[in-house]
Amino acid sequence: MAVNPIIPGFAPDPSVVKVGEWYYLVNSTFHLFPGLPIYASKDLVQWRQIGNAINRPEQLSLELTETQLFPQKPPATVLFATGGLYAPTIRHHKGRFYIVCTNVIRATETAKDATRNFIVTSDDIWSDQWSDVVYFDFKGIDPSLYFEDDRAYICGSAGKGPGTTIDLVEIDVATGEHKSPVETVWKGSGGIWPEGPHLFKHGEYYYLLIAEGGTHGGHMVTMARSREMRGLYESCPANPVLTARGTDEYIQYTGHCDAFEGDNGQWWGTCLGVRKDKDGRHTMGRETFVTPARWTDDGWLEFERVKENPTGLSRPEGASRAPTADSARHDVVYIRDADRSRYTVSEDGSEFSLKASELDLVEPRKSPTFLSKRQRLLDGKSSVTVRDVASIPADAVSKVGLAVYKDELRWFRIFLNPVAKAVQFELVNKGKELTRSAEHKLDKLDGDLFLQISYTEKEYELAFRLGQGELTTLFKTDVLDLTDPDFVGPVIGASVVGKDHVVKFSGFSVE
Note whether residue 9 is domain-resident. Answer: no
| Same-domain check for residues 403 and 254 | no
Q: How many domains does the chain have?
A: 2
> Which residues, at least 6 apart from 124, have a Cβ–Cβ distance to it below 8 Å?
none
Beta-bridge mates of residue 343: 354
- Alpha carbons 184 and 72: distance in angstroms, whole number: 29
The residues with which 466 forms a beta bridge, in sequence order, are 449
Within 8 A by CB and 6+ apart from 138, the residues are 115, 117, 154, 156, 158, 167, 169, 182
User: In degrees rounded to 5, what are phi and psi of residue 422?
Assistant: -150, 150
Per-residue CA distances from 253 to 48, 279, 286, 486 (Å): 25, 15, 8, 12
Q: Each residue of 104-140: pLDDT tens digit?
A: 999 998 989 999 999 999 999 999 999 999 999 999 9
5 lies in some domain: no
Q: What is the CATH number of the domain that holds 379?
A: 2.60.120.200
Question: What is the rounded distance in angstroms from the CA atom of residue 12 to the CA atom of residue 219?
Answer: 13
Q: Is residue 7 part of a domain?
A: no
DSSP 171: E
Is there a single domain that holds both residue 339 and residue 487?
yes
pLDDT on residue 77: 83
Co-location of 89 and 179 in the same domain = yes
pLDDT of amino acid 274: 98
Q: What stretches of 317-433 adopt beta strand conformation (E)? A: 324-325, 334-335, 343-345, 352-355, 370-374, 380-386, 397-407, 410-417, 422-429
In a domain? residue 502:
yes
Longest distance between any two alpha carbons in the chain, whole Å: 76
Encode 292-306 in three state secondary structure.
EEEECCCCCEEECCC
Note whether 33 and 112 are same-domain residues. Answer: yes
Contact criterion met (CB below 8 Å) for 156 and 146? no
Segment-wise mean pLDDT, segments of 10 residues, the chain, 511 residues: 97 98 98 98 98 98 97 86 98 98 95 95 98 98 97 97 96 98 98 98 98 97 98 97 97 98 97 97 97 98 98 94 92 97 93 97 98 98 98 97 98 98 98 97 96 98 96 98 96 97 98 97
Asked whether residue 1 is assigned to any structural domain, the reply reads no
Q: HEC states along 129-149?
A: CCCCCEEECCCEEEEEEEEEC
442 in any annotated domain: yes
Exposure string over 33-69, b if 16+ CB within 10 A, otherwise e:
bbbbbbbbbebbbbbebbbbbbbeeebbebbbbbbee
**Where is the domain boundary, 292, 324, 356?**
324
Apex 309 CA angle, 303 and 310, nearest 5: 25
- Angstrom distances, CA of residue 76 to CA of 286, 351, 434, 445, 484: 17, 40, 15, 44, 7
| CA dist., res. 120 & res. 58, Å (int) | 13
For residues 289 and 403, membership in a common domain is answered with: no
CA–CA distance, 209 with 351 (Å, rounded to integer): 44
Read off the pLDDT of residues 55-91 as tens digits, 9 standing for 90 and up.
999 999 999 999 999 998 887 789 999 999 999 999 9
Closest residue by Cα to residue 383 from 329, 327, 451: 451
Q: CB 96: neighbour CB atoms within 10 A?
A: 14
Nearest CA to 405 among 466, 345, 336, 354? 336
Instruction: State in Å, rounded, how far the first CA of the chain is from the last one.
Output: 16
User: Cα separation of 239 and 290, whole Å?
Assistant: 19
pLDDT at 1: 87
Domain boundary among 307, 324, 341: 324
Whether residue 51 sits in one domain with residue 119: yes
Q: How far apart are CA 168 and CA 226, in angstroms?
A: 14
Last residue of a domain, one of 295, 324, 353: 324
Q: Residue 30 forms beta bridges with which residues?
A: 85
| Same domain assignment for residues 346 and 304 | no
CB atoms within 10 A of CB 316: 10
What single DSSP character describes residue 30?
B
Residues 309 and 369 in one domain: no
43 plus 64 within the same structural domain: yes
Q: Give strand ranges (E) for 408-443.
A: 410-417, 422-429, 434-441
Same domain, 360 and 441: yes
Assess if residue 2 is contained within a domain: no
Q: Residue 75: its pLDDT value, please?
A: 74
What's 21's domain CATH number?
2.115.10.20
Residue 224 confidence (pLDDT): 98
Statement to judge: residues 310 and 341 lie in one domain: no
In a domain? residue 8: no
Can you give the residue range of the structural domain that contains 338? 331-510
One domain for residues 216 and 295: yes
Residues with catalytic roles: 13, 195
Q: Are 138 and 171 in contact (CB under 8 A)?
A: no
Residue 363: predicted pLDDT: 98
Q: What distance in Å separates the CA atoms of residue 312 and residue 251, rounded to the nearest whole number?
A: 18
Q: Residue 423 contacts by C-beta under 8 Å, 6 or more apart in sequence?
A: 414, 415, 416, 417, 439, 440, 442, 449, 464, 466, 474
